[in-house]
Amino acid sequence: MNRPIVRLYGLIAVMFALLVAFTSRWTVFDASSLRENPLNARRVLEQERIARGEITAANGAVLARSVRGPEGAYERVYPTGELFAAPVGYDYIDLNRGNAGLERYRNKELNGQSASNLEGLLEQLQGKEPQGEKVITTLDPRAQRELRGLIRALASEGHAIVLSTHLIETAESLCDRAVILNAGRCVANGALGELRGPLAARSLEDAFLEITA
């Protein structure tokens, strides 16, 4: 065989091997890092098409569910508001906000990613839309509301109750006075109306953001 042809054949074989190696690296070994890369917009587009599973309380009440918008993208809604905000957490498609609570720790199940890769591939070939799994908790909405009612009743009888929370909505709905901490230091202390300032109609969250800016 002509020597130049052999060299050309060897060069093509080496280039093909390098192509296979780098392709395997990106699609197999570095797949997770590429998927989690904040510059990768594909993940955002994929998340918009997934109907994440519901998160329900012990009595079946829906704590979190996905709602499809007019353009076909799903977004997360929380029917109980801040009642179970701490354990349920939140999920934003925006990668800068991410997720927290059960939305984060049960993310694979909620996104329907607990099945094997083969099952997922077969569902894609069949044209099925990604569907998340339901997560059932032991949270009890009735007990939560009864506890809130008890706190209000004790406060109305003149009892002093100290409530520590990072949920501003909870503090605003249950407390008469608040102490705002920032980086471990007390930066504001007073009645809610005083903390809101002259604009009494604004929320405590607005006041908090202004005070801690």
Q: Reply yes or no on whether the pLDDT at 10 is more than 70.
A: yes
Query: pLDDT tens across 49-102, in order?
Result: 788 899 999 889 999 999 988 887 888 999 988 888 888 988 876 655 678 889
Question: Residues near 197 by Cβ (< 8 Å), separated by ≥ 6?
Answer: 207, 210
Q: State the number of CA atoms in the 13 A half-sphere of 83 facing the CB.
A: 21
- Output the pLDDT for position 170: 83
Query: pLDDT tens across 150-203, in order?
Result: 988 998 898 888 888 888 888 888 888 899 888 888 988 888 888 887 655 578
DSSP string computed for 81-104: GGGGHHHH-EE-SSTTT-EETHHH
Question: For residue 181, what are the β-bridge partners?
Answer: 186
Amino acid residing at 188: A
- Output the pLDDT for position 128: 65
Inter-residue contact 76 to 52 (CB < 8 Å): yes
- DSSP 8-state secondary structure symbol assigned to residue 202: S
- Look up the pTM and report it: 0.60
Question: Residues near 132 by Cβ (< 8 Å), separated by ≥ 6?
Answer: 50, 51, 52, 53, 66, 109, 110, 111, 112
- Output the pLDDT for position 54: 94
Amino acid residing at 113: Q
Inter-residue contact 22 to 28 (CB < 8 Å): no
